[in-house]
Structure formats: structure tokens, C-alpha cells
């Protein structure tokens, strides 16, 4: 049922739905508030619209109490998020982002789990020059947040490695472009009414507010999509609203895609109607039909998603409540014919793409480890030096790491030496396996949704486990400061989710390859005993596991059986 055809007796629409309706194409009062530099923040209503432009309003939560005691307001700033389909950008775009992080943000870049960059600590007056400078080098923030299709994810290296003949990156870009909002309010404000084309030409945009696909109220909530490979599920394909699962022939050629629908990991503590869910296989389609199928499936979500309760507004709840067969039938009606039954796929694996790999064209790529995605200090200086010299293409990973690609054979030794000189780690000693596969969301002090620490705490927790002798274990640990699950703990072998300050729930039994959800193991665990709780489970695994049995597989069997 579409938004416009809801019966009068239905529940009232969520407030954000009203804001979208009156926003004049995501502009209106938002742009007026952004232009007013006499204040360092914007209203909450304007903030809801700002998300569509790729930004969240935040404040320094560490300073709230002290500032309140001093009679001061909050220390406001903004997070700005880019969109890099497939995590792909040029050396020049990376170097620009590095410069802008120093000039307009807090001198760090953060790689997200959706293959984006985030700039943190951006002052209100610095937002426009930052976003304008990015767009002048063909980097957008439009749709980085908000109720639209978010950054479209893909394996960052499948197009580079031997054995692949299909350009997944090109399809990621095409789908991303198709779901870009059409309203020109973004360009009118941030770019003074101009667009910069790939050849450097500047063109004046013709004002437009209508959205041919989205309509005036866009999607019910955020819409996440990806392309995934069973033999390399590096993008956690089952965690997305919609995804294309590659089905390969024996020689690696692409036969087609399974369409997946209804994944999503966020939930709300104490709200039973919210929960993580893995996507279902809906049907099989030819590569040429991918765009049409994704568009039709997205339209189902647009029309049938819950617009009355934002906690319940994701596509996963439509699938859960109406059933996979209902979704298949609805999709068939919109496409004019049903999809073929889903194809069988081989056993899943996942890679983080760290270290050196030879490309199909004879050049090299190297994956560089970035702890929790935060590029700062020596890492920031080292990456800049290497990228300035070698001019590689950059690929961002869903594990918050960074890949330097298309390195000429004659440059390999020099790049390797520079990585070593700057202490940049590429997946071997002294980086422990436990730390290599650990991930955390930003959480405190900037995220307004966080109820507990994550990025600032996880490195110390891993350090304590390393000191106790667990560093050599390849176990995927993910920590999130709240149940919105930005670091994807519900599919981790060990997922740690904040309950309140210094208090966490511990989940175990997800699979390393991302094909199974973890289940609750311990509730309300104090931060000061987290290491003890994890050590107890790891010790039991060491004693009881079958040969080569991974922690997640053992935990699903022994600790939290269904």
C-alpha cells in the first residue's frame, strides 16, 4: 500500500514523513538554517533533513556536563559522509580528503563499514567549503545518510583479481547513480547551483524538486544494497535490504545473480518488534536484468514499508511479516514475470584483502590495516606519503581497511619499503589475528545514539586478551555502542553490544563468513569483566572444539544452540 493511499483509520505517519513532505525537495527551512552562521547548530527538524545531504549533527558528549555547569550550550559539530560505490576512489580524491580532514575537520578520516569516508568534528561554517571541495573532485555526500539508497557496496577487488570477467564495480556505480536523489536543492546550496562534470566542465543546474522514483517522501527509512560473492563475502551480503548474490560457473564466469531481500541488523533494546534478520534468497536473474529487479524490489519497500513507526520501517519487517512468497509474487507482478528459483551456491568464505596480491593484469594491490577505520596521526602521514609517490587507485573495504591498487611491478618494492618505514601493517606480525579481525563503531563521544563506548574501548579489550595469550586466534569480534549495529556485531563470532554506560550484551555463534546470526550469550556484562567472560568462552572452545572448528561454529553448537 502506498503512502498516499493509506486509510484514514491507519496510524498517524511518523513526524519525519511530514518533514520530508514539506521540505521542498530536501531544501526549504533546512537551507535557511544552514545559511545562518550566527548559531553553531540547527534545529532537530532541520537535522532530520540534513541527513539526506550526507551529514549528522553531533556534539562532544564528553564535555556536556562540564559545559552545562558553566552555563554553556553543547559543543556542536557535524559528521559528513561521502558515497564511494564499491569503495572506489582515485589517489587524487584520497589526497583531497586527507587535506580537507586537516583543514575543516578533526584531522582524521574514518573508513566506514559501508566503504565510505566520514569527516568528524566539522564546524557549521566549514560544512559548505568541505562539501563543495569534495564535489569539485567528483565526490558526493548526497544520500550518504537519510531515507534513500545508501552507498552501494561491492567487493573492492573482484574486478582486479584473476578469475573474474564481470565488472561488479561498474554495476555498483550504475545502481548507485540510478538511486541518486534528483532534487537539485543539494547543488543549489552546497555548490552555488553548479555541477562539476568528470571532464572538469561546470554546468549550471536547472532547479528541480520532483523525484521520479522516490516521490516527495522518499523511502520509509534507509535502504542498503550490495553485490556479493559467495567465495568472498567481504560485504556481509545477507545483512542488506537488497543484494545481488553472484552465481558463478566453474571457470569463474558470472552465470547470473540470486536476488536477496530482507536483511538488516539494527534493533532497539526492549522492543521485541525489532530484531536482526538475514536476507532470504528470492530468485535468480540474468545479469542484464539486475537493474530492473533491484528497482522493482526497492519500489516494493518504498510502497509497503512502515511509515508510522521508524523502528519498524525497514524492508526486513515486510519480509518477516508478509513472507518471502508474498514478496516473490509482488515482485513478479511488478516485473511482469516471476524470477527463476534461486540457484545453488558453494560454501561461503570471507576475506579482508590485507597484504599483497597479484592482479589479473600483472600489477599489484596491497591491503593496509586501519584499526577501526580511523586514519590518524602516523597512519595518516604514512598513507599520504605512499599515495603521493605511487599514485595508486584506492579501494575501501567493509572491514574498514584500505587497499592500494594498480601498483606497477617496478614500484612494488618501493611501496613495500615505505609501508614498513611508516609502520603500516598489511596483515602479518606484529598484528595479531585477534586484532586484525576486530571492528568497532565510532560511538562515544560524537554519536548521539551510542549508550556505551566502542571505538575507544575495543583496542584495550583486544590488548588484554592478547596479553592473556589469545592473540593468535582468528575470531571475528565486533563491538557496537548501541543495538543499531553499525559494526555488524549480530553476524560476528563474538558480538558485543552496548546496553548502557560500561554495560554490554555479549552474543556468540555468528559465522566467520557472515551466514549465521549470533545469539545472546551473556546479558548486562560490566566492561571490567568483559575480558574474563570472553576468555572463559575461548578457553572452553580450545578444550572442546573439533579439529579446525572455528569459534563461531563451535559456539553456535555448544554455547548457544538453537
Q: What's phi and psi for 355, nearest 5 deg? A: 90, -175
Closest CA to 340 of 277, 300, 278, 289: 289
150 has catalytic annotation: yes
Angle (CA) 410 413 417, round 5°: 145
- Residue closest to 386 by CA, chosen among 399, 398, 363, 402: 402
DSSP for 89-116 reads: E-HHHHHHHHHHHHHHSSS-EEE-TTS-
Does the active-site annotation cover 482?
yes
Q: What angle do CA 551, 553, 556 make, to 5 degrees?
A: 105
Catalytic residue flag (residue 110): no
Q: Single out the catalytic residue among 51, 81, 110, 380.
A: 81
Of the candidates 82, 88, 108, which has an alpha carbon nearest to the alpha carbon of residue 394?
88
Helices (H) and strands (E) in the chain, counts: 17, 21
Catalytic residue among 307, 441, 488, 516: 441
* SS3 assignment for 283-334: EEECHHHHHHHHHHHHHHHHHHCCCCCHHHCCHHHHHHHHCHHHHHHHHHHH
Of residues 83, 124, 221, 224, which has the active-site annotation?
A: 224
Q: Is 155 a catalytic residue?
A: no
Known catalytic membership, residue 447 = yes
What is the per-residue DSSP string for 182-222? --THHHHHHTTTEEE-TTS-EEEPPP----TTT-TT--SS-
Q: Which of 486, 488, 516, 522 is catalytic?
A: 486
- In the set 20, 51, 114, 222, the catalytic residue is 222
Q: Is 486 a catalytic residue?
A: yes
**Nearest-angstrom CA–CA distance, 156 and 162:** 14
Q: Kindly name the residue from 482, 488, 516, 522 that is annotated as catalytic.
A: 482
Catalytic residue among 150, 221, 328, 380: 150
Q: Which of 447, 478, 488, 516 is catalytic?
A: 447
Q: 349 burial class (0-12, 13-18, 19+ CB within 10 angstroms)?
A: middle
Catalytic residues: 81, 150, 222, 224, 441, 447, 482, 486
Amino acid at each position: 500500500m502506498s503512502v498516499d493511499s493509506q486509510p484514514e483509520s491507519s496510524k498517524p505517519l511518523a513526524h519525519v514523513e511530514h518533514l520530508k513532505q514539506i521540505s521542498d525537495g530536501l531544501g526549504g527551512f533546512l537551507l535557511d538554517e544552514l545559511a545562518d552562521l550566527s548559531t553553531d547548530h540547527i534545529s532537530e527538524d532541520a537535522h532530520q533533513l540534513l541527513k539526506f545531504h550526507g551529514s549528522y549533527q553531533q556534539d562532544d558528549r564528553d564535555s556536556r556536563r562540564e559545559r552545562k555547569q558553566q552555563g554553556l550550550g553543547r559543543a556542536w559539530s557535524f559528521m559528513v559522509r561521502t558515497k564511494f560505490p564499491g569503495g572506489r576512489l582515485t589517489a587524487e580524491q584520497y589526497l583531497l580528503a586527507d587535506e580537507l580532514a586537516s583543514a575543516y575537520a578533526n584531522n582524521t578520516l574514518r573508513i566506514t563499514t559501508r566503504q565510505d569516508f566520514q569527516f568528524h568534528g566539522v564546524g557549521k561554517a566549514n560544512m559548505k567549503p568541505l562539501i563543495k571541495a569534495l564535489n569539485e573532485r567528483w565526490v558526493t555526500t548526497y544520500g550518504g545518510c537519510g531515507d534513500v539508497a545508501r552507498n552501494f557496496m561491492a567487493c573492492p577487488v573482484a574486478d582486479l583479481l584473476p578469475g573474474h570477467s564481470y565488472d561488479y564495480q561498474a554495476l555498483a556505480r550504475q545502481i548507485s547513480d540510478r538511486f541518486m536523489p534528483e532534487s537539485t536543492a543539494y547543488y543549489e546550496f552546497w555548490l552555488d547551483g553548479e555541477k562539476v562534470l568528470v571532464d572538469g566542465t561546470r554546468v549550471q543546474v536547472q532547479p528541480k524538486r520532483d523525484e521520479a522514483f522516490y516521490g516527495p517522501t522518499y523511502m520509509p527509512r534507509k535502504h542498503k544494497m550490495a553485490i556479493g560473492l559467495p567465495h568472498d563475502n567481504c560485504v556481509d551480503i545477507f545483512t542488506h535490504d537488497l543484494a545481488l548474490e553472484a552465481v558463478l560457473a566453474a571457470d569463474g564466469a558470472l552465470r547470473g545473480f540470486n536476488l536477496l531481500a530482507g536483511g538488516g541488523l539494527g534493533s532497539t533494546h526492549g522492543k521485541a518488534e525489532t530484531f536482526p534478520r538475514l536476507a532470504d534468497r528470492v530468485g535468480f536473474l540474468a545479469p542484464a536484468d539486475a537493474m530492473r529487479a533491484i528497482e522493482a524490489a526497492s519500489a516494493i519497500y518504498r510502497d509497503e514499508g512502515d511509515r508510522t513507526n521508524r523502528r519498524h520501517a525497514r524492508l526486513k519487517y515486510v519480509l518477516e511479516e508478509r513472507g518471502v512468497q508474498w514478496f516473490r509474487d509482488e515482485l513478479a507482478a511488478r516485473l511482469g514475470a516471476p524470477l527463476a528459483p534461486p540457484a545453488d551456491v558453494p560454501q561461503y568464505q570471507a576475506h579482508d584483502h590485507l597484504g599483497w596480491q597479484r592482479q589479473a593484469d600483472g600489477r599489484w594491490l596491497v591491503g593496509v590495516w586501519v584499526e577501526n577505520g580511523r586514519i590518524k596521526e602516523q597512519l595518516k602521514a604514512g598513507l599520504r606519503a605512499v599515495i603521493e609517490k605511487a599514485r595508486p587507485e584506492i579501494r575501501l573495504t567493509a572491514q574498514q581497511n584500505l587497499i592500494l591498487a594498480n601498483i606497477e611491478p617496478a614500484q612494488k618494492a618501493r611501496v613495500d619499503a615505505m609501508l614498513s618505514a611508516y609502520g603500516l601493517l598489511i596483515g602479518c606480525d606484529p598484528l595479531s589475528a585477534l586484532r586484525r579481525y576486530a571492528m568497532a563503531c565510532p560511538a562515544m563521544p560524537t554519536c548521539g545514539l551510542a549508550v556505551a563506548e566502542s571505538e575507544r574501548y575495543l583496542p584495550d579489550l583486544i590488548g588484554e586478551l592478547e596479553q592473556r595469550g589469545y592473540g593468535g586466534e582468528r575470531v571475528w569480534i565486533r563491538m557496537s555502542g548501541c543495538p543499531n549495529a553499525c559494526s555488524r556485531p549480530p553476524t560476528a563470532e563474538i558480538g558485543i553490544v552496548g546496553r548502557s554506560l560500561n554495560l554490554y550484551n555479549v552474543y556468540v555463534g555468528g559465522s566467520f563468513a557472515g551466514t549465521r546470526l549470533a545469539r545472546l550469550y551473556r546479558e548486562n556484562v560490566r566492561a571490567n569483566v568483559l575480558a574474563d567472560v570472553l576468555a572463559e568462552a575461548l578457553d572452553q572452545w580450545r578444550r572442546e572444539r573439533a579439529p579446525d572448528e572455528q569459534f563461531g561454529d563451535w559456539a553456535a553448537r555448544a554455547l548457544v544452540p538453537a
